[in-house]
Amino acid sequence: MQLTIDDKQVTAEQGQTLLEVARAHDIPIPTLCYHESLEARGSCRLCLVEIRKPKWPGWKRLVASCVYPAEEGLEVRTATEEIVGIRKTLIDLLLARCPKNPEIVELARAYGIEQTSYAVLDATRQCILCGQCVRVCEDIIGASAIGMYGRGAGKKVGPAYGKAAETCIGCGACAFVCPTRCIQVIDEGLTRRIPRWNVEFELVPCRICGKPVSTRKHIDFVRGRVSAGPEVLETCSDCLRAYYGAKVAAEGHM
């Protein structure tokens, strides 16, 4: 199907969201709560765009592009004055929540905001409660080690009772998707710590080079789900690549 984004003619496939179409055509739209590996939830509203339909003159709507499906003939605008104004307000509010988070500070600067115009309640906060860590842990990893707790202004993300995340396997996926990079995964020697979830793990060294592969708990978790032995699971990706590369070179197949 055909539609326009910022007056540029673009092609989209059925089922694609406006954000996906824009990204496929290198049209930038800012996002915070979107990650391509997770189902979009449309919670941060930063990705908002304006849509118009030629058959309905004068009609327009502001929608979250990460959840809005592409439609034939849609006219999309990603950065009108109105949109930029709303984005600035959103970013200003996020900055009031996390005034010292480098990612948020950088985003604010890009929109010309040096300081928030709202009251800062706690300058140490780093989390914007987007819930991506919770979703990746539940939907992709299947560990459900962390959750969203409480409600309203007191809402938090973390393990139940603020204790250690018992079912956490230390995979680090939550840290990987966190848009404010506020989940630290600290590897020291053969120990991995994720202080935010109060957990500590033993790391397994690669059978070939000795570089840590992942946590013992992660490897055991994966072993229960796939038919691969320790020679694969306990070898780091670099050594695996080298091994299979050599095998293919010598035998012509894996």
Partner 1 sequence: MSSVHVNRIIDRHGAERASLIPVLQDIQDDYNWISEPHLRQVADRLGLPLSEVYGVASFYRALSLEPRGKTLIRVCKGTACHVRGAQLIQEELERQLGIQAGGTTEDMAYTLEVVNCVGACGMAPVVIVGDKYFPGVKPHRAKKLVQTERDEE
Which residues bind to partner 1, rule: CB under 8 A? 134, 138, 144-151, 159-161, 165-167
Q: Does 40 bind ligand SF4 (CB under 6 A)?
A: no
b/e map of 167-196 (b: 16 or more CB within 10 Å)?
A: bbbbbbbbbebbbbebbebeeeeeebbbeb
Concatenated DSSP letters of 125-160? -------HHHHIIIIII-----EEES-GGG-EEESG
**Would you say 25 or 193 has its CB closer to ligand FES?**
25
Integer Cα distance of 140 and 172 in angstroms: 12
Residue 145 or 194 having the CB closest to partner 1: 145
How distant, in Å, are the alpha carbons of 82, 107, 116, 150 from that of 113? 17, 9, 7, 30
Closest to 178 (Cα-Cα) out of 201, 194, 202? 194
When the beta carbons of 79 and 206 are compared against ligand FES, the nearer one is 79
For 128, other C-beta atoms within 10 Å of its C-beta total 23
Q: Exactly one of 19, 48, 90, 172 binds ligand SF4 (CB under 6 A); which one?
A: 172
State the nearest-atom distance from the C-beta of 157 to partner 1, in Å: 10
The helix/strand/coil state of 48 is strand
* Nearest to ligand SF4 of 180, 235 (CB atom): 180
Q: How far is the CB of 141 from ligand FES (least distance, A)?
A: 21
Q: Which is nearer to partner 1, 80 or 167 (CB)?
A: 167
We find the least distance from the C-beta atom of residue 98 to partner 1, in angstroms, to be 22
Residue among 171, 204, 213, 236 that touches ligand SF4 (CB under 6 A): 171
Q: According to CB under 6 A, which one of 165, 213, 219, 236 is a site residue for ligand SF4?
A: 165
Which of ligand FES, partner 1, ligand SF4, none is residue 34 near (CB under 5 to 8 Å by kind)? ligand FES
Strand partners, 51: 61, 76
Selection from partner 1, ligand FES, ligand SF4, none that 161 binds (CB < 5 to 8 A by kind) is partner 1
Q: How far is the CB of 166 from partner 1 (least distance, A)?
A: 7
- Measure the CA–CA gap between 214 and 35, rounded to whole angstroms: 23
Q: Which option in partner 1, ligand FES, ligand SF4, none does residue 47 bind, with CB closer than 5 to 8 A by kind?
A: ligand FES
Nearest Cα neighbor of 90 from 148, 130, 136, 147 is: 130
- Burial group, residue 226, by CB count within 10 angstroms (0-12, 13-18, 19+): exposed
**What is d(CA 158, CA 166) in angstroms, rounded to the nearest whole number?**
11
| Of residues 17 and 215, the one with the C-beta less far from ligand FES | 17
Q: By CB under 6 A, is residue 18 in contact with ligand FES?
A: no
**Minimum CB–partner distance for residue 39 and partner 1 (Å):** 17
